[in-house]
Amino acid sequence: MKIEELRSRITPLTKKEQYYKSHPKHSGDYIEKHYNNDNEKLIQMTIDRYKATKEKHALFYDGQIITDEVLSFPIYCSKQTRYSFVPLHVRSYVEMKYVYSGHCYAIVNDKEVILHAGDMILLDVNSKHTVLMPTENDIIFNFQMDRSYFSDSFISKFSSVNPIVTFLTNIIDQKAQHNDYIIFNNREDDHDYVVRLIEMILCEYLDPSLFAISILDSYFSLLFIKMAQRYQMNMEQQFKENNKSYMTEIIQYIEQHYQDCTLMETAEKYGYNPDYLSRAIQKATGYTFKKLVNYYRMEAVGKELISTNKPIYLIAQENGFSNLNYFYKKFNVYFGGFPADYRKQFQAK
């Protein structure tokens, strides 16, 4: 499918959307039919791709055909049905919403969220939300993702500490609390790129070519990396507008001086109040200052254990761990074992 064809198909109202527009009292019929929750106020939703496809609900256009091949892909793509009411609910999967045009008015975890064209929101499992009824110009794409998609190898594609890394890591952690969300606001400098990427994803999804699954996997990897970049750039712009140093510069400074830098010294260097800087770093990276420093320390320790034969105590001291008991405790938390075993495991390969 060419992008021009996609654009021409997703804009007109489907028969179901036309019906809901003409019969607003029936705008919640589908939900009531398929998600009877014993009159509970909070509906539990799961992915039922085949049912949704068969009944042509929340699809892109009338007569659409989706192959079994793309239905097997761990990300299910759909379009928010316009003039349809979706009550407050939670989902058993991760969901990403992209506003292609118009707006998206939502309530997420009891907070009002307004998304504009080009904005995106990523919702973790069990985030409580509802989307207020979209009208004709409000074209919203949904990407519903199995948690299995977010493997360690997927997360390793992100080269730096970033809130999206923390968010995705939390998704695959069975013990973590799952009800969070993160918003990626539109940027003029990458709007056209992201729109094009979304369109290429949908073209491949709706009309799969040879190696479609591999192509979709690559597109989504690129989309997530782009979102991480967008979030970081938006943070930098916010700091720039406040006449502050870029957060990237501060994080790079911590990365280069992780052995001995302190919050007080870093705050003084960049002209921040320490408490303010601590909050800003956590907002930008998802890590506290101390955890960020330990992250870089442990990364360095892990590399040296594999690439050198230095004594373990010396590696620990040279990377900022003066207390060996503390070092062993943190190493076990970070790597899930002991330094000697870690070294033996990787040097044997």
Output the CA torsion 262→268→273→278 (10° steps).
Answer: -30
> What region, left, alpha or beta, does residue 211 occupy, with left being phi > 0 and alpha being psi -120 to 50 degrees?
left
Q: How confident is the model at residue 315 (pLDDT cuts 50, 70, 90)?
A: very high
Best-predicted range by mean pLDDT among 17-21, 48-52, 124-128, 312-316?
312-316
Check pLDDT > 70 for residue 38: no
Distance spanning both ends of the chain, measured CA to CA = 46
Within 23-162, residue ranges assigned H as helices are: 29-34, 49-54, 68-71, 152-155
Write a three-state SS string for 243-281: CCCCHHHHHHHHHHCCCCCCHHHHHHHHCCCHHHHHHHH
Cα 333 to Cα 120, 291, 316: the distances in Å are 33, 12, 15
Cα 5 to Cα 66, 299, 303: the distances in Å are 16, 48, 50
Residues 6 or more apart whose CB falls under 8 angstroms from that of 297 comprise 258, 259, 319, 320, 321
120/275 Cα distance (integer angstroms): 30
pLDDT for position 164: 73
- Identify the residue with better confidence: 303 or 231: 303
Give the single-character DSSP code of 75: E
Of the CA atoms within 13 Å of residue 245, those in its CB half-sphere come to 16
Check pLDDT > 90 for residue 339: yes
- For domain 244-347, the CATH architecture is Orthogonal Bundle (1.10)
**CATH 1.10.10.60 domain span(s) along the chain:** 244-347
Check pLDDT > 70 for residue 319: yes
Check pLDDT > 60 for residue 49: no
Question: Largest Cα–Cα distance in the chain?
Answer: 76
pLDDT for position 237: 78
pLDDT for position 242: 67
Check pLDDT > 70 for residue 15: yes
Q: Which of 78, 130, 132, 75 is nearest to 102 (CA)?
A: 132
User: Mean pLDDT of all residues in the chain?
Assistant: 84
Q: Are 304 and 319 in contact (CB under 8 A)?
A: yes
Buried b or exposed e, range 271-300, using 16+ CB within 10 angstroms: ebeeeebbebbbebbbbebeebbbbbbbeb
Q: How confident is the model at residue 138 (pLDDT cuts 50, 70, 90)?
A: very high
CATH of span 3-237: 2.60.120.280
pTM above 0.75, yes or no: no
Beta bridge partners of 156: none
Average pLDDT over residues 5-25: 91
Q: How confident is the model at residue 265 (pLDDT cuts 50, 70, 90)?
A: very high
The model's pLDDT over 99-120, given as tens digits with 9 standing for 90+, comes to 999 999 999 988 999 999 999 9
144/224 Cα distance (integer angstroms): 14
Q: How confident is the model at residue 68 (pLDDT cuts 50, 70, 90)?
A: confident
Cα 54 to Cα 66, 74, 77, 208, 337: the distances in Å are 9, 18, 14, 18, 49
Cα–chain center distance at 249: 24
Give the single-character DSSP code of 146: -
3-state helix, strand, coil split of the chain in percent (to 5) is 50, 15, 35
Tell me what percent of the residues of the chain surpass a pLDDT of 70.
Answer: 84
Q: Which of 125, 171, 163, 118 is nearest to 144 (CA)?
A: 125
The model's pLDDT over 172-228, given as tens digits with 9 standing for 90+, comes to 665 655 558 889 999 999 999 999 999 999 999 999 999 999 999 999 999 998 988
* Burial category of 46 from C-beta neighbours within 10 Å (exposed 0-12, middle 13-18, buried 19 and up): exposed
Tell me what percent of the residues of the chain surpass a pLDDT of 90.
Answer: 46
Q: How confident is the model at residue 39 (pLDDT cuts 50, 70, 90)?
A: very low
The label of the residue with tokens 């506290």 reads 288
The model's pLDDT over 274-308, given as tens digits with 9 standing for 90+, comes to 888 998 898 888 899 999 999 999 999 999 999 99
